[in-house]
Amino acid sequence: LSFLLFLIRYPLISFFKRKFFKQQSLEDVRKKYSHKLIPIQKILSDKGISFPISKLYLLAFKKERILEVHTEKNGKKLFLFSYRFTTFSGKLGPKLVEGDRQIPEGKYKIDYLNPNSSYHLSMKVSYPNAFDAEKAKLDGRENPGSDIFIHGKDVSIGCIAIGDDKIEELFLIVDASLQAFGKDSVEILIFPGKLEEGKFPDCEICPSWHKELYDVLRKDLLPFL
């Protein structure tokens, strides 16, 4: 019942916001939450990193329910700070079909920023990527799903929710990098969990090709360790 209420409630909120409230632009969001960047710029300055950040990595770990923010310095990856998921949906393992409530696993970009999200603010994840689409075709899955976001609030049906306060901060950090350095300046890497003795935690939804995916993700994660 609660899930059905969720499905009804947020589209209705979105409808009434569009119908009766002035839509805000990205510039509106920048002005409204600019104060959020003051402590962030201090953290970056202390680490010798300029703002906007020229290379930004968002690492999501599903088992730990944490989103880490990294950058590069002197050719090496550098951890900056992290955000806790406010909620979680699905299980460990990749997203396979529309409506399965799974958070994807893989490497992605930001497609666009949404300043008028039903979930306060949101950033569109470029799921499905080429690997996802290839495996969906091989499996005969016609609809691997879509509309995956990093957003605010404390609800999720396959997205990464970090709450309103934290999305205001991260939204502006990502926006600044995209403005200054373009789409390739921000990468999203979503893992089933952190490596334990060189291995990811066991998947709960395990397609035949999951080992191939996890081998790739392991190589992607190693430079950050």
Check residue 125 and give left, alpha or beta (phi > 0: left; psi -120 to 50: alpha).
beta
Which of 3-7, 54-58, 163-167 is the least confident region? 3-7
Give the chain's mean pLDDT.
94
Q: Given a cut of 80, is residue 59 above it in pLDDT?
A: yes
Structure confidence at residue 21 (pLDDT)? 67
Residue 9 has pLDDT above 90, yes or no: no
Q: Give this prediction's pTM.
A: 0.91
2-194+208-224 maps to which CATH number? Answer: 2.40.440.10
- Mean pLDDT (whole number) for 173-193: 99
Residue labelled with tokens 């989103």: 67
Predicted local confidence at residue 132, as pLDDT: 99
Q: How far apart are CA 172 and CA 27, in angstroms?
A: 10
The sign of the torsion formed by the CA atoms of 103, 104, 105, 109 equals: negative
From 11-25, 192-206, 210-224, the region with the lowest mean pLDDT:
11-25
pLDDT reading at 1 higher than 70: no
pLDDT at 67: 99
Token output for 195: 């490596």
Whether the pLDDT of residue 6 is over 70: the answer is no
Tell me what the mean pLDDT of segment 111-131 comes to. 99
Do residues 193 and 63 touch, judged by C-beta distance below 8 A? yes
Query: Starting from the edge strand earliest in sequence, which strands make up the sheet with 76-84, in order?
Result: 76-84, 66-73, 56-61, 186-191, 106-108
CB 14 within 8 A of CB 118: yes
What pLDDT band is residue 8 in, cutting at 50, 70 and 90? low
Residue in 15, 57, 43 with CA at minimum distance from that of residue 184? 57
pLDDT confidence of residue 141: 98
Per-residue model confidence (pLDDT) at position 211: 97
Whether residue 13 is predicted with pLDDT greater than 60 in this model: the reply is: no
For residue 22, what pLDDT is reported? 79
Q: Are 75 and 93 in contact (CB under 8 A)?
A: no
Above 90 in pLDDT, residue 198?
Answer: yes
* Average pLDDT estimate for 149-168: 98
Q: Which residues contact 5 (CB under 8 A, 6 or more apart)?
A: none
